[in-house]
Structure formats: structure tokens, C-alpha cells
Structure 1
Amino acid sequence: MRARKVLAATVIVLFAATTTAGAAAIATTTQHDPLAGRFDVVRHGFAAPSTTLREGKPSDVGLDAGPIKSAEQFLASWTQPDASGHPHLSGAVGLLAHDGVVVDRYAVGGALRYADAAGTELPKDQQVPMRNDTIFDMASVSKLFTSIAALQLVEQGKLDVNAPVVRYLPEFGVNGKEAVTIEQLLTHTSGFDADPVPSLWQGYPDIPSRRKAVLDSPLKNAPGTTYLYSDLNMLTLGFVIEKLTGQTLDKVVHDRITAPLGMVDTGYNPPASKLDRVAATEYEADPPRGLVRGQVHDENAWSLGGVAGHAGVFSTASDLAILCQTILNGGTYRGKHILRPDTVETMLTNYNQRFPDDAHGLGFELDQPWYMGALSSPVTAGHTGFTGTTLVIDPESRSFALLLTNRVHPSRNWGSINTARQVWATSLAQAMTVKPAQGRDAWFAGLGDKSAATLSTQPLTPRSGGPLQVSFYAFVDTEGSTDPLQLESSSDGVYWQPVAVHATGPGAPPGQVTSLSGHGHRAWWWVTAEVPTSGVTTLRWRYNTDPSYTGRGVSVDGVKVTERGRAVLDGERNPSALTATGWILSAR
């Protein structure tokens, strides 16, 4: 899925739904890849189209339950007040799946908890706890539905992603927007400013004037020159979809995505009959909406009647799980085809290579460690929502992580939940196995932010004055160059010098380097080095992390030091010859 393909036909991402009924629909048989549970083996291509989600335990697919349980405890702690006097989030529902098996469902905290913006808790008998079938305002995760609907039109030959928007909406071609393309809307490179100015709900009296305001919006940057995430992109794309189909966006999403997939709890403007299952969002004074529950939180989408290209969809963890598995299956679930495999592949291809930190497919964000955690890779796809929702799909391990929260309840000012997003996704990566390159175990350092670990040899004395030949295996899954693994040498154990190494294997850096880093290759490297020495020398492997974001971690195995073919140190036979700080011997 790495090479960019020219989109000659359409693509649509499908969104899946299910609830209590949907959860039941999630369970039948599936055939497991013999490499299930492995983080160190990249799966190529899609899962079998017949793969259907079923309930199971982590051990059913070779996962360690420990990291997942730790992540659950972390989420629970974040629903309790901290030094600020309030929790990070009111409540959460998490779901993790691997190789077609839902290995964890977790609900904690409150779907309805507060009476006002100040955080006054409702009486216990008026509070509503989170449940696995709680319905959430998906906020910007809604953009995936809009993108899928657009790509379906591409498949039908009705929409060309390379065409200018004005081909379909002539009224869009004002204020310098004549050259903006459909692709640029999907990848947030159109040149739009971040939000409508003024806000649609503040500056315009009715829905027709608000729709016109979107189409009249000017550009901030020249098309294609800048990545700037903007709701105006998907608002516009929603209008394109309505124009080409002759239907409202909510009907398009229902008829072409949610109904075929059986997503009974996914859609816009949830009915009053489901209000008791809907998570509350913010208590709003401006506009004076009071406690928002069952209506879209986003004010611009609200001003458009709750149906918009950028926000408005409500869904459950079970419904989203079906969507994720459909993507992993190449566009098919339970015999329903919502996208062709080549369309899904194109959708998950990075169109923003000229903007390295803003990788983006057609609708999906790619490779964003700030919420994908250790599942992040160049092909990992996902999206977040302002209300506190997160979706991460990792094709390389055929896994996905969903974390749905109402973090804006009762106030958007209570802080960020990005750490929780990372912890939840990373727990699934850590639950998978990195099989030792040699023997039964390997040295593993799975550090958090702003940490350091060292693995040191005893002082080594060459018989003939060196040089020492060093070899080892390294599995490196880090944030990037800011979290390096380095081999160092010292003659006194106080002052250390970097040692140039040469690594071979998928994703290994070319030539000689003084540090190893990277993520997404998920393979062991064979590493060699030569250390000139004229006396006693100590070697150490040092792994450092910066203040934000980490990958799954680093493993070192098969350490061997020789001098002219004579073994000076064999770490595989004698692991006690290595002194570890922040490293452990692990069979996984």
C-alpha cells in the first residue's frame, strides 16, 4: 500500500455500525494468519474479504493481556479528579481488535455526569454510566464518511479527484478558488483557512446563507502550496456529493454506507428514542444551548441542521469496529462491498509527501504518532474528533484501536486527552510479540517520554590491541531521530564516544551512522561495528527518548564482541556479562 496510484475510478470509505444488536452481528468465524500476534512481521495486502469480527481474548491471537489491562487502568485514572480539581475526561469506551478478533472492550466513567459548565456533578441517580453501546458524537471522524461517499462516486465515474471543484459546483469559483481540486479538499491542501470566518452560526441568518458563505470563502494560501487542516474542505465536498447524487448527505451516508454494513447506530441527528444511550458533550452558553446531548456539538454543523461534511455523525465502538475491519478487508464486510480493494489502497496512500509531518490519504490521516502511538507507521490510518474520539487502523499488523470519549463534557477547556489516545493505541502494539532474533529472549527497552536506558558490557581487554568487532541484532521502533539507539565506547567508564555502525535489513539507514532510529519497518536489523582500541574498553547501548511520543521500543539481541576472530564477549551465552539499566530480558 505504499506506492501512490493514479485514481482513475472512485473510492468510498465505509463506515460500519452495530450496537447491542451490532455487537452480536460482530461475532462469527474467522481464519487466523499464522503470524497473528507478531509485531515484527509486516502483513502485506488485505485480510481475506470473508474475515468477520468475533469476540475473543488477547491470548486467542497471541497477545499479552498485560499492556491492555495497564491501559484500562490508565483510562480509569483519567476519569478521576487530579490536581486541577477535575478529571481529564468524563468517560470513555475503548475497543481493540487484532487479526479479526475483538480482544478488548472497556467502558469507564460517565456518559452523562455534569449539570453545568463549572463541573457540578449530577446526583448519582441522574448520572448515566458509559456502556459498550454508548453513542458518541464523532466530530471530525465524520470526515471519513464524507470521504468514502466521495470515493464511491469516483468508482462510479461521476467524480474525478483531479478535477477542479468548479466542474461540479460552478458557484465555488470565486475569490481565487478556480484551481482548487477535489484531491486538495480530501488532503487539506486547498489553501482554505482553518475555519469559516465569521462562524456560520454567528454571521448568517439561515441555512441557505450559511451554505453560500462556505462556497464564497476565500483562500489563505495558494492551492497545493500548504497543508492546513480546514473544516471548509469537507463542508465543500459534502455539497459536491449532494449535487452529484441529488440527495442530502445524511441519506447518501445511510443508503450507501451505514445501511449496507448494518450500522444501526451510525448516522446524523440520532432519534429521541436513543437519547438515553448518547454521551453528553459540552454545556454551552455561547450559543446558549445549555447541555448538549443528542445534537451535534460542532456549532457550524449544528447551524446547518446537524448534517455537514465535516461533522455530525454519531456512532458506537461496535459500529466503528465494522468500518475498520472493512478497510482491513479491502472494502468488503459480510459480503457487502462498499469500496474496491484498489480504491481502499489509494485511499490509504500518502498524497502529502511534500508535507512530511502531515501525511494524508484521501480522507484518512496517516502516520500521526501523537494519537496513533506505537501503532503509527507510514501506512497506519486514522482520524480524531474534537469531542474526544479516536480511530486508528494498522494494516501492517491487521489491527485497530478505537477510543471514544466525551472529553468536552462539561467543558472543552478541561484539557487535552492526547496522552490517553497514545496509551490506548500503544497498548495494542505492546501486546504483540517481537520474537527474539536469537535464543529465547532479547534485551528490551520500552521507555516512556523523556527517559534513558543503558546496556553496558564489562570492561573488555583486547589481547593484541584491537580493534574490537561488534555485532548484534536490533529491533528499533521509535518516534524517529529524536529517540535514538546509540552504541558508545569508553576507556574510563565516564566519557563516552559514539561508535559508527552499519545496519542491514528492511528500513535500515544506509551507510555508516552513529544512531539508529525509525518506525514502521517492523523488522530486525543486523548491525556491525569496529571499535579501535589500545586498552581496556567498555561498550554500551544507550536508548534515549525526548519529551513527547514514543514507539513500541527497542530490542537488542545476539550481542557478540570479537578480536581477530576470538570471542571477547558473547551476550547470548552469557547475558550476565551485560549490565542493564532500563532494559529487561524479554521473550516477547
Structure 2
Amino acid sequence: MNKLRNNITLLSLSMLFVVNFFGQSSTKLTYGSLSDVGLDSVKIYSKVDSIMTLGILNKAFPGAQVLVAKKGKIVFHEAYGFHTYDSIQKVNLNDVYDLASVTKVLGPLLPIMKLVGEGRMDLDIPFYNFWKPWKNDKSKKDLTLREILAHQAGLKSYIVFLAEVLKKGKLKHRYVRTSYSKKYNQQVNDSLYINKNFHNKIYRKINKSRVKEDKKYVYSGLSFLLYPQIISDITKTEYSNYLYENFYEPLGLNSLTYNPKAKNSNQSFIPTEKDTLFRHTTVNGYVHDENASLFGGVSGNAGLFSNAFDLAVIMQMLMQYGQYNEKHYLREKTVKEFTSVQYPENDNRRGLGFDKPLLNNSALPLSEAYPAPEVSPESFGHSGFTGTFVWADPTHELVFIFLSNRVYPTRDNRNLYKLNIRPALQQVFYTETN
């Protein structure tokens, strides 16, 4: 009996060690209620409904979704409005959205973190070790991966590569065709295909782009156009295959993917913009971002699509510092490094790839804060141009997902920002407790 008791005690201690060492590592998302986690359901539904109604009535978006997980339980997941302003198709909880720049942290940043954790990439050696053309560029040869991921390197913010395939508003035949062939195999939509070598032109323009000598925080997505090739070179595996094999498939993510429509997915896609410049149609199921589209939809800056549930799973994994359902995806030390502010002395709030709260966020009113003022300094996430937003808060064990198509029918619609919809929604889940 004593031996049995001793064995049970040792087992209990071992289990306690696992929990303490890995934090929430064994947590797999389940469904629960707001009251399960100490939140006031009546007040939350009332306030969220009010904010979402305000957004829809003011045409901040035709429809949207809000998902919140707290303490390992999905306690709120609701859909509002319609796919478009014609009010024909209601938003469904399984609808798939174009994530835009959320792609950056749920796409290439995952392999980068894995490779850094394995010692196959280094944050503090010159970036040319991974991208050879920069070795002989005086302005770029000393830039490090850390500076670049923290948007502290002085790289140009954006380059409109679409200008390279248009001439006086018409598509250049040498780069774009209306039917598939071996040479024109990068699909833009149902009837447009890009020359398979066009990405080399993009690389050359990035390589020639100027770098500011004054190193201040400037958000730049240029390096994210390079990461898929860098990841493929290091791993000897095609970038998207590496993502699926190491992250999406073992996590059981069924909707998070590139090019879902081209893969004949039967999922329901939320339309983005009515494109009058390039594709001359409503973009739906193909990436909205023009630069990503020129890579055939598979890019590091944009291109991923997902439903809200899959986003919650992967953000829960990141919030648990690389652990999910007792499986180890990333090193805890690496995730903590990437989700920490890197250059606060330069008034730069960013982590490595990840967005972070404003440096004085907790002292700001809701109207000035980013995101909600109640989020912890340890929290992190990213937003997307199409109206998407993901955020994880390890201190409060809270994942917040907001999905919308605010760019429908046009990207000029900025009411999502003017009405401060996302921080206001997020704040509700911090303040309305039982």
C-alpha cells in the first residue's frame, strides 16, 4: 500500500511539474460559457450587439464575426450582418476570410520562430546570410533579422509592384495571360495568370530599394515577400508545404490555407473589394493584396484565408508559448522573445513580427489606446488590411478574434478605424466580469 501511495505521489508530482514547466501546455480549446470564466453574459451580449450594430449601420463593414476564448474555452462566437450590403447572404460562423497582413504572423513567422529555436537562423547576424543579394549592398549588408522583423531597419514601407504589370491601365501581355500554361502558372483569379518568373522582378526591385540611414520605426512588409523563398532554401521544403506539415496539419486546422478557391474548396468565402484596376471583378476566394496576388497568392505578406475557429486554435498555441494539446510546436523561449518589445528606447512598440500594445497603452482612454487599454503588456497579435484582427493575452489567458471585410466594396472605407470598433469590442471582455 505504501509503495502504491508513493507511486501515486510521484505521478502527481510529475504531472504538477509538467503543468508548471509548460504553463497551459496541455490546453486544447473546448467550448464553454461566459459565466464559466467569470464574465457577465447579459452585459457582454448587450454591449457587443450594440457595437456591431453601430458598425453595420455606419457601413464600417457589411458583416463580421467576434470570437473570444478565455482560459482554454471558446466562450463567445457570434456572427453579424451579411457578406455584402445587399443583405442576401448572412455571415456564417464557418465563413472563410482573407486575413491580409495577419498572414505575416501566422504564415512565415511560424517557420522563422521554429528555425531560430533550432539554431538554423540567428536574429543578430547580417540578414545577407539568408538573402545573399544584400551582401554587397552598402545600405543593407549590416541589417539584422531582429531589426527587420521589428520594423526598425529603415526599409521602405511598401512598393506597388502592380505598376510593373500595367501600362496605361492595361495588362502587359508579357507578364499576364488569361489562360493557364506552364509559363503562366501563378493564378490571380479565375481568368488571370502571372508569369512564373515574375517574382524575380519583385526581388530585384526590393534588392534595389533604398534604406533610410536614420533608424526609426517604420512598418515595412517588404521582407515578408522574401521569407517564403528563404524558408524554402533553409528547410529544402517548399514554404507552404513546410507550414502545413509542421503547424496546420498537426494542429488540425482545416480552413487556414493559401489559395482556397483555387484548390476547389467548398467553403464559403467572404468577398473583399470590387477591384476596378487589376482584376475588374469582386475579389472573392483569391487574395485581395495585389503584391501577394503577383506571387500566385502564396506570399509572406498576405494570402492566408481562415475561419475564426482555426485562428483561435493557432493563437491559443502561441499564447501557450508554442504548446498545444500536449504537443510542442515552438520553443517557449523563442516565442517569448518574438512577442517581447524589442526597441522601446526608439518609441517602437513592436515585437519580432508581432504587433504589441502602445507603450503607454494602459494609461490611455479607449479612444486613443491600441488595442484595448486593459490588455497586458505581454499581449501580442496583428491586424489585417481587409478588416481582420487577432490578439492573444497570456496574462489574462484571453484570445480575441475579429473578422470583417471592411474593404467591401472599396478600401477607401475607413469607418472601422474611425469608430474604434475593434478596441471597443475587445475591452468588453476585460471589463464585464461577474
Separation in 1 of the partners of 2:285 and 2:295? 15
Whether the 8 Å CA contact 1:176–1:218 is kept in 2: the answer is no
Other-structure match for 2:380: 381
Question: Structure 2 counterpart of 1:157, which letter?
Answer: G
Counting strand residues as a fraction of each chain, which structure ranks higher? 1
- Aligned match of 1:229 in 215, 219, 223? 219
Question: Structure 2 counterpart of 1:176, which letter?
Answer: S
- Aligned match of 2:66 in 94, 118, 131? 94
Task: Calculate the aligned-residue CA RMSD, in Å.
Answer: 2.1
Question: Structure 2 matches for 1:15-414, cutoff 5 A?
Answer: 47-78=23-54, 80-82=56-58, 87-111=59-83, 113=84, 121=86, 127-144=88-105, 145-173=107-135, 174=137, 176-196=139-159, 199-203=160-164, 205=175, 206=195, 207-222=198-213, 225-271=215-261, 273-274=264-265, 276-356=267-347, 358-368=348-358, 370-414=369-413
Q: Secondary structure at the match of 2:315?
A: helix
Separation in 2 of the partners of 1:300 and 1:325? 29
Deviation at residue 428 of structure 1 after TM alignment = 0.7
Q: Among the aligned pairs, what percent are the same residue?
A: 28
Q: Secondary structure at the match of 1:104?
A: strand
Question: Structure 2 counterpart of 1:76, which letter?
Answer: M
Deviation at residue 209 of structure 1 after TM alignment = 3.3
| Larger CA deviation: 266-275 vs 44-53 | 44-53
String of CA shifts for 1:318-337, please: whole Å, max 9, x gaps: 00111121122221112322
Deviation at residue 248 of structure 1 after TM alignment = 3.0
Question: Structure 2 counterpart of 1:399, which letter?
Answer: L
Q: 1:156 to 1:62 in 2, by over 3 A?
A: same
Whether the 8 Å CA contact 2:96–2:267 is kept in 1: the answer is no
Whether the 8 Å CA contact 2:62–2:82 is kept in 1: the answer is yes
Q: 1:286 to 1:366 in 2, by over 3 A?
A: same
Q: Secondary structure at the match of 1:105?
A: strand
Separation in 2 of the partners of 1:162 and 1:424? 38
Separation in 2 of the partners of 1:425 and 1:251? 34
Q: 1:131 to 1:92 in 2, by over 3 A?
A: same
Whether the 8 Å CA contact 1:137–1:297 is kept in 2: the answer is yes
Whether the 8 Å CA contact 1:78–1:89 is kept in 2: the answer is no
Separation in 2 of the partners of 1:167 and 1:106? 46
Point out which structure has higher relative CO (alpha carbons under 8 A, 6+ apart): 2
Whether the 8 Å CA contact 1:90–1:409 is kept in 2: the answer is yes
Whether the 8 Å CA contact 2:339–2:378 is kept in 1: the answer is yes
Question: Structure 2 counterpart of 1:72, which letter?
Answer: V
Deviation at residue 75 of structure 1 after TM alignment = 4.2
Separation in 2 of the partners of 1:54 and 1:235? 35
Deviation at residue 241 of structure 1 after TM alignment = 1.4
Whether the 8 Å CA contact 2:376–2:396 is kept in 1: the answer is no
Counting helix residues as a fraction of each chain, which structure ranks higher? 2
Q: Secondary structure at the match of 2:81?
A: strand
Number of residue pairs the alignment of both structures matches: 371
Provide the TM-score with structure 2 as the length reference. Answer: 0.80
Separation in 2 of the partners of 1:137 and 1:149? 21
Deviation at residue 374 of structure 1 after TM alignment = 3.1
Question: Structure 2 matches for 1:475-490, cutoff 5 A?
Answer: none
Whether the 8 Å CA contact 2:286–2:297 is kept in 1: the answer is yes
Separation in 2 of the partners of 1:260 and 1:284? 36
Other-structure match for 1:454: none
Separation in 2 of the partners of 1:374 and 1:130? 29
Separation in 1 of the partners of 2:307 and 2:346? 33
Separation in 2 of the partners of 1:96 and 1:46? 23
Q: Secondary structure at the match of 2:415?
A: coil
Gaps of 5+ in 1: 1-43, 115-120, 434-588
Whether the 8 Å CA contact 2:113–2:335 is kept in 1: the answer is no
Separation in 1 of the partners of 2:330 and 2:57? 44
Q: 1:329 to 1:105 in 2, by over 3 A?
A: same
Provide the TM-score with structure 1 as the length reference. Answer: 0.60
Q: Secondary structure at the match of 1:254?
A: helix
